[in-house]
Amino acid sequence: MGRGVRQSKLDQLPGGKHVLVDLDGVPAKIDNSSISLQVIDFQHHEIHEGDHYFVNGTATLDQDDTLDFAVQTPDSTTWAHMLFKISSTEQTTFQIFETSDYDADGSRVTAYNNDRNSSNTSILTITKDPTVNSNGTLLFEQSFGVTSTPTRSLSGETRADEEIILKQNTKYIFRITSAANDNIVSYDGKWYEHANEM
């Protein structure tokens, strides 16, 4: 479980009724209007735990320019559960390669904690524009922004609505490639880090 996660249990009350409480005996809260259990989703919970991170930014690319991000996961059972969104003003291809080979000689990218009061730091090592020796295995590829004229394309985006759990002790390349000049690209990666218990 993530840091500080408490298991819940059912306590029996007089008369055979049950109430859901945590290990400190604090009962679950019920919304008075809908009579529903008050909950937050797991990603939201990980923000509260200080285990949720993000990187984002923009770049202007010309035709055939690439923007590479090298991502190294540690050899541990704490895994990164990642979502991403890439958008652009021109036709663009986004790819993810696994088991890549690169020299992390580019610029280090800082991953920010969503909880600005937390001192926790990400387990991932992220480098922008590394020297790529081998792409590795193509895991994901999508082209977006359909060309409407020989010199102009329509804006678009690609995104992962289902998280990708990055493999431990593995190198990845996240690559953005422009198909046109003056292409303004925005990238947004977000993830939480959770200790695998399998």
Q: What are the domain boundaries of the chain? A: 8-37, 54-195
The continuous run of DSSP H or E covering 175 comes out as: strand 171-178
Q: Say if CB 194 and CB 2 are below 8 A apart.
A: yes
Residue 23: which of 11, 35, 31, 14 has the closest Cα? 11
User: pLDDT tens, 4-47?
Assistant: 444 444 455 555 566 666 666 666 666 555 555 656 455 666 66
Architecture in CATH of 54-195: Sandwich (2.60)
Mean pLDDT within 120-136: 97
pLDDT of residue 51: 86
pLDDT of residue 173: 98
pLDDT of residue 171: 98
The continuous run of DSSP H or E covering 37 comes out as: strand 36-37
pLDDT of residue 152: 44
Cβ atoms within 10 Å of 137's Cβ, excluding its own: 11
User: pLDDT tens, 50-81?
Assistant: 789 999 999 999 999 999 999 999 999 999 99
